[in-house]
Structure 1
Amino acid sequence: MMISMDIFVSFVVFILLVLSSESAKHMKSIKLSKNVIYDCVDIYKQPSLRHPLLKHHKIQMKPTGWDSQPKNKFVDTQHKNNNNNNIQCPIGTVPILRTKKEHVMQSQEYPINQFTTLTAQYPGTHIAGMKIDGPRNHLGMEAGLWTYNVSIGKNQSSSAIAYVASRSKYDGNSIQVGWMINEKLFGDTRPWRYGSWLGILGSGCMNLQCPGFVQVAYDDPMNKPLNVTDGRSHLLWLTIHQDKETKDWWFSQTNPDQLSQKHLGYWPKELFNLFRYGANFVGFGGIVTGDPRSPSPPMGNGHLPNKHDRLASGSLDHLTTIDMDDTHAGFNEFMAVPLVDSKVCYDVHYVGYVDEDVGIAVSYGGPGGIKCGD
């Protein structure tokens, strides 16, 4: 019996990760809690570079032409410690979260099983978001995701996301960033910042638990726990942006207070086959997963959108598309297509332009429950 190519690629990546996790040397370890430990690994020997498609890849330390970006928009904090989790590796190394082997396959299955360009294809998965589609491709998007600490079951997940994606008749590429509560995957009930990708032949992974994403920030790992203690916390303002010269896809975070931006790392172009000239569409919203035989978990802050109060439910601010000429643009209600599979339990509402500090906003979420459908 012949083994399909996508299964073979997943098996190879799994073996490489197991070997690299056992053999990778690190200079320092940073322990945030009993189950959250980061190892400082030589940037040129990080596990991600062991991916078969990255055999000849050369690390890019920052996006091309960043020095020429408008200084009044963002300040590059690549070499400034702006992290409240006290994660700071020695120069020349990057923080890699120490993970258990049983999390590896879960991390590989996540991009395929949960993310299908915001369609609830799998039982127990529900979505409430919007997709921006059009005649032109996009170089990326920005989104401000307010974080919440809702209570969900051990085998459930609840997340807020921003993504770029391209799809052909038989294939799809995607990059997804945001925050997620998933005790089975992260080992605790806090929201975590994360990123995932889906690329060539259905290969893909979440965070750095298997090869793919190249971490370059020495003091701010791509996946980390967020300190949410009571309801809404800080604004998680994230950007996915393709470098026009190298075609790599960068993951950055903006500090809303200082309007400073940190480049955490990137997904190399070699991982994708449909992303060379941007993405077909971008989107954002919420996703929950769970056992379809049990009540569905809450999404956002657990409340349905209120047209008269955008902060009464989950809130997404600073929603911006990055056009092919590298300009940042807003969008109107007619450009954003709502994607909701169970309006009984979840919904999404286009708020529009609020003010200069908020930009274009969308409300989303819901309580979940027992009548959400399969």
Structure 2
Amino acid sequence: MDIFVSFVVFILSVLSVESTIHMKSIKLGKNVIYDCMDIYKQPSLSHPLLKHHNIRMKPTGWDSQSENKFAERRHNNKIECPNGTVPILRAKEKHVIQYQEYPINNFTVLTAKYPGTHIAGMKVVEKHNYRGVEAGLRTYNLIIDKNQSTSAQAYVARAFSGDANSIQVGWMINEQLFGDKRPWSYGTWLGKHGTGCFNVKCPGFVQVAKNGPISVPLKFDYLLWLTIHQDKETKNWWLTQTNPDDDTKNHLGYWPKELFNLLGDGADFVGFGGMVSGDPRTPSPPMGNGRLPNKDDRLWSGYLDHLTIIQPDYEHAGFNYPMTEPLVDSNVCYDVNLVGYVDHQVGIAMSYGGPGGIKCGD
């Protein structure tokens, strides 16, 4: 099947997402509705590359005890689907939201590709077959316009000969995407032939947790602790949420290996940071908590902690400044600072962000 035909089939599968039958609906507030769908009939499985995919319920080598304990603490979210079903956020609009690439290789070129987009982050530059990344991302109360977005994320990626694959997770304020001004958890992927999207806006991400959607509205000053990790046996890429109070895990779901042509044997790049986007003709939105980092006060600006890389042997490890490269395209408006190891409760941390404004460039 050539690239054009594959793309047409992919778009048709996107349009079929809305037609999937659900068994129960859960309403959170006025405009947020989750439909509980049969796990084996969820929209993601309509992707042409997943025609013969067998769902995995947990990563290889994990037990269910920590996941069950985590589930007991999520009842205040009021998202609990019946056994055999998974919560899928009901789309507010009948269109596909375009994926915004995180600048993983030459961010200047990609920023030019998306006028009005700015970043302040840090990537680990020692190239290995990384098996994942972990980060604690705290949400902030930021005021931005309806056509703007601000986010914090962790990512894994590989680029080769003009092609790129990536997975990015974190939180985002984006009224056009989510319909309100709250921070939401999110995940994006970029795979074969440039396909990919946010959350479950198109087929791809396979949801397995009955009580943990990939995207949920979050409170301000909430610590969202996420891990992207590649399964040892299947090579699928899992998204796991950790409870910061007791380190219990909830495996939300995964991006199947079939979606990618470059991430089969790990990632070349892993990183962390913030991103904003908006109309380049208007002032750029704030990032982090709206303050530039202060090297004398690690909590002054936006803050990420529990930063961890997963090595080729699947061991979790830290990193230091010589292993990293800052990615900042407008240091008048945004910046980043690697704080380093703090203590056993915080781990490795970095500060990032800034106020935005009118002098940030295109």
- Shorter-chain TM-score range: over 0.9
Q: CA deviation at 1:209?
A: 1.4
C-alpha contact 2:139 2:219 (8 A) present in aligned 1: no
Tell me the secondary structure at the aligned position of residue 299 of structure 2. Answer: helix
2:37 alignment counterpart: 41
1:190 alignment counterpart: 182
State whether structure 2 residue 6 is matched by structure 1 residue 14: no
Query: How is 1:252-267 mapped onto 2 (pairs within 5 angstroms)?
Result: 252-267=240-255
Query: How is 1:170-185 mapped onto 2 (pairs within 5 angstroms)?
Result: 170-185=162-177
With over 3 angstroms needed to count, the CA separation of the structure-2 counterparts of 1:114 and 1:151, relative to structure 1, is farther
| Cα distance in structure 2, aligned partners of 1:217 and 1:40 | 11
C-alpha contact 1:144 1:238 (8 A) present in aligned 2: yes
Tell me the secondary structure at the aligned position of residue 201 of structure 1. Answer: helix
With over 3 angstroms needed to count, the CA separation of the structure-2 counterparts of 1:9 and 1:371, relative to structure 1, is farther
Query: How is 1:265-276 mapped onto 2 (pairs within 5 angstroms)?
Result: 265-276=253-264
2:104 alignment counterpart: 117
2:21 alignment counterpart: 25
State whether structure 2 residue 279 is matched by structure 1 residue 291: yes
5+ residue gaps, structure 2, are: none
| Cα distance in structure 2, aligned partners of 1:153 and 1:14 | 30
Partner of residue 52 from structure 2, selected from 53, 56, 64: 56
Query: How is 1:56-135 mapped onto 2 (pairs within 5 angstroms)?
Result: 56-67=52-63, 75-77=66-68, 80-83=71-74, 84-102=76-94, 104-106=95-97, 109-110=98-99, 113-117=100-104, 119=107, 120-121=111-112, 122-135=114-127
| Cα distance in structure 1, aligned partners of 2:158 and 2:311 | 15
Tell me the secondary structure at the aligned position of residue 321 of structure 2. Answer: coil
| Residues 36-75 of structure 1: CA deviation (Å, up to 9, x unaligned) | 100000000000000000000000000011139xx9xxx2
C-alpha contact 1:64 1:243 (8 A) present in aligned 2: yes
State whether structure 2 residue 338 is matched by structure 1 residue 341: no
What amino acid is the match of 2:271? G
| Cα distance in structure 2, aligned partners of 1:362 and 1:247 | 29
State whether structure 2 residue 339 is matched by structure 1 residue 351: yes
State whether structure 2 residue 234 is matched by structure 1 residue 246: yes
Task: Report sequence identity in percent.
Answer: 64
With over 3 angstroms needed to count, the CA separation of the structure-2 counterparts of 1:165 and 1:214, relative to structure 1, is same
Tell me the secondary structure at the aligned position of residue 12 of structure 1. Answer: helix
State whether structure 2 residue 290 is matched by structure 1 residue 302: yes
Tell me the secondary structure at the aligned position of residue 296 of structure 1. Answer: coil
Partner of residue 352 from structure 2, selected from 340, 350, 364: 364
Total equivalences in the alignment: 355
| Residues 246-282 of structure 1: CA deviation (Å, up to 9, x unaligned) | 0000000100101101100000000000111110110
Q: CA deviation at 1:16?
A: 2.0
| Cα distance in structure 1, aligned partners of 2:281 and 2:134 | 36
State whether structure 2 residue 3 is matched by structure 1 residue 5: yes
What amino acid is the match of 1:5? I
**Could you tell me the TM-score, scaled by structure 1's length?**
0.92
What amino acid is the match of 1:249? W
What amino acid is the match of 1:312? W
C-alpha contact 1:14 1:105 (8 A) present in aligned 2: no
| Cα distance in structure 2, aligned partners of 1:51 and 1:173 | 17
5+ residue gaps, structure 1, are: none
Query: How is 1:150-161 mapped onto 2 (pairs within 5 angstroms)?
Result: 150-161=142-153
| Cα distance in structure 1, aligned partners of 2:165 and 2:73 | 32
C-alpha contact 2:17 2:203 (8 A) present in aligned 1: no
Q: CA deviation at 1:11?
A: 4.2
Q: CA deviation at 1:310?
A: 1.0
1:162 alignment counterpart: 154
C-alpha contact 1:114 1:125 (8 A) present in aligned 2: no
With over 3 angstroms needed to count, the CA separation of the structure-2 counterparts of 1:280 and 1:78, relative to structure 1, is farther
Partner of residue 210 from structure 1, selected from 184, 202, 207: 202
**Could you tell me the TM-score, scaled by structure 2's length?**
0.94
Q: CA deviation at 1:10?
A: 4.6
